[in-house]
Amino acid sequence: LALWSNNLMGALPQELGALNTLTTFSLYDNSMRGPPPRILQSLTGLNVLYLNHNQFQGDL
């Protein structure tokens, strides 16, 4: 799923957690802030995650 460079900010929709077969998630180059989204814990099939060029703080 590619959501890069969309000026996204705020919370990600909880429905993304249902995509447990998702293998790659690109969220880089947006305006996300704060702790990394907890919804990422639900993405059990995830192999590649791009969060760079945001302003996340804290642990995954």
The DSSP line for 5-50 is TS---SPPPGGGGG-TT--EEE--SS--EESPPGGGGG-TT--EEE
Secondary structure letter of residue 2 according to DSSP: B
pLDDT at 7: 95
Cβ neighbourhood burial of 39 (10 Å; 0-12, 13-18, 19+): middle
In this prediction, the residues of the chain whose per-residue pLDDT falls under 70 are: none
pLDDT at 51: 94
**Rounded CA gap, 53 and 19, in Å?**
23
pLDDT at 12: 87
